[in-house]
Amino acid sequence: MAALFNNLFGGAKPSASPIPAGDSDFADFAGAPDPSPTPSISTAASFTGAGAYPTGISAIPYTKWYNVHERHSLSDFKNEGVILGLLLVIIAIHLYGTSTNRKKAKAWVAAHESTLKNEFALVGFGGRGLPGADEVESEGMTKALAKDEVLLKEKSPQEFSTYATGRQNVAFLDVNLTLIKRYSPLSLIFEYGASLFFDTMPAPTENVEAILEALTVPGQLPGAHELRKDNKSSYDGFVWAIVNKDTMKQLRDERYDVSITSTKDHAKLPNWCTIMSESSEITEFLLTPELIKAVESAGELLNHIIITDQPIDQPQNLDETIPKKRLYLSMRLPSSGDYSSVMPLFQYFLRLTDTLVQGAHFRAEVLRKVRLTRDDAVKRLQKADEEEKAEERQLEREKLKKQKRDLELKGLDAKAQKKYLEKEKEREMKKMQKKQTQRG
């Protein structure tokens, strides 16, 4: 039997050395062969699948893990490339648009700088005094950039402004430049498209708007304002304007002050513009040959020039009816960048307060007609104010009456409360019947 067992299982094998009685825990590993040493350092060839390995060691399979150029190609990054390209285009357009707008704004300031400094003592946001030694000695690009920063303020990539003060008969001058959104072509396309379908959305244009406030002195106003302290400058208050007919309807809808005027063409003016005035005598005084020549020189770049003492928005209370004498000038910027055609009108606008102070003192009949509209507005507001106060007083009386009723009910027992409520209901029924009888 032993011989047969040896033949079936490959013969007898040498037995393992006996395990001491005390080491029975390691009996399972008694027959384990000693591990063979393996190489611990891999050669460079092992990573590429090439080279020879020691006898008895299997080769490491070839992999592309360490070869990026073999695992990927440029075609795998098409989406990323498109996104990156679009971002670069958007950034380039934005930088081009903003820089172009800055150049146009600086060009406007450069063209009007001498005029502003000749008319005002302080120009820009940093102030300007008499030229000193530092200003005379400082030259070059650094001085030019610093000058632009003082004269011009960038509110947004499309909005720029400057400021001036220190002139006789003038409190201050605000100038705002609004340029098109060159940095956002999609916005431009939408605005142009919307202007084709909606009258309330005009096509985007590049405009300069100047607001000049007349210097005020303490005083009183006649008419409905006699008893109210106010400020007035040394010329009579009125509303008068020269308006481009293309913007006339929009201007009348948006501004309360020009809405109270009457519109009439004038033979001395081009047919593309019209006059809005409260009196023909005011028109004859203001429509000087110098102004007519300046308007003709500016051409249809002129949007409007307005002299007013009324607010832009319709007054909602008596405080808003206090006159504030201001002058407004709005012009489109010439696409060529040549401001010689609009410069005469801008210069005339800056000196217009001198003309008003010297001669804008009209006859009593003219001022009576001018005050009529203002008095009507004041009376309407006074009536609305009185009605509002009467309503408040009525609400207060009703509130006190309700409080008194609640206190009376609270001091009664249940039976007395029921009787009180029944009488109150009867009184209400009688009032309703009386009202119906009066209506019938």
d(CA 89, CA 278): 54
Phi, psi dihedral angles at 102 (to 5 degrees): -65, -40
Share the mean pLDDT of the chain: 79
Residue 211 pairs in a beta bridge with 174, 328
Q: What pLDDT is attached to residue 270?
A: 93
Please state, in angstroms and rounded to a whole number, the distance separating the CA atoms of residues 270 and 292. Answer: 9
Q: Quick one: pLDDT at residue 156?
A: 92
Distance, C-alpha 389 to centroid of its chain:
37
pLDDT digits (tens, 9 = 90+) for 112-124: 999 999 999 999 8
Identify the weakest region by mean pLDDT among 2-11, 98-107, 162-171.
2-11
CA-CA distance, 164 to 152, in Å (whole number)? 11
Structure tokens at 154: 């960038």
Give the mean model confidence (pLDDT) for residues 254-271: 91
pLDDT digits (tens, 9 = 90+) for 317-344: 777 778 789 999 999 999 888 999 999 9
Q: Is the pLDDT of residue 61 over 80?
A: no
- Whole-number Å distance between alpha carbons of 374 and 310: 9
pLDDT at 216: 66
pLDDT at residue 440, as a whole number = 61
Q: How far apart are CA 385 and CA 398, in angstroms?
A: 20
Check pLDDT > 50 for residue 50. no
Tally helices (H) and strands (E) across the chain.
Answer: 15, 12
Confidence of residue 347 (pLDDT cuts 50, 70, 90): very high
Range with the poorest average pLDDT among 232-241, 259-268, 279-288: 232-241
- Predicted confidence at residue 95, as pLDDT, reads 95
Place of tokens 């109150």: 424
Long-range contacts of 3-11 (CB under 8 A, 24+ apart): none
Higher-scoring residue by pLDDT: 95, 12 = 95
Kindly indicate the confidence band of residue 264, based on its pLDDT and cuts at 50, 70 and 90.
very high
H-helix or E-strand spanning residue 18: none
Considering only residues 104 and 378, tell me which one the structure prediction assigns the higher pLDDT: 104
Q: Closest Cα partner for 274 from 289, 257, 261?
A: 261
DSSP β-bridge partners for residue 154:
160
State residue 429's pLDDT score. 85
pLDDT higher than threshold 90 for residue 439: no
Phi then psi for residue 403, to 5 deg, are: -65, -40
Q: How far is CA 124 from the centre of its chain?
A: 22
Burial (Cβ within 10 Å: 0-12, 13-18, ≥19) of residue 410: exposed
- How far is it, in rounded angstroms, from Cα 319 to Cα 190? 40
Task: Examine the pLDDT at 430 and tell me if it is beyond 70.
Answer: yes
pLDDT reported for residue 244: 95
State the amino acid at position 416 in one-letter form: A
Give residue-wise pLDDT tens across range 204-253.
899 999 999 987 654 443 333 333 334 445 889 999 999 999 989 889 88
Is 282 within 8 Å of 241 (Cβ atoms)?
Answer: no
pLDDT of residue 377: 76
| Structure token pair of residue 124 | 């820009």
Where is pLDDT greater, at 346 or 319? 346
Beta strand ranges found along 229-373 (DSSP E) = 229-232, 240-244, 262-264, 273-277, 302-308, 326-332
Task: State the helix-helix crossing angle for 141-151 and 78-119, rounded to 10 degrees.
Answer: 80
The pLDDT value recorded for residue 160 is: 95
At residue 129 the predicted structure's pLDDT band, cuts being 50, 70 and 90, is: very low
Q: Which of 115, 91, 208 is nearest to 164 (CA)?
A: 115
Q: Which pLDDT score is estimated for 130?
A: 41
DSSP state of 267: T
What string of DSSP letters covers 61-107? PP-STT-HHHH--GGGGHHHHHHHHHHHHHHHHHHHHHHHHHHHHHH
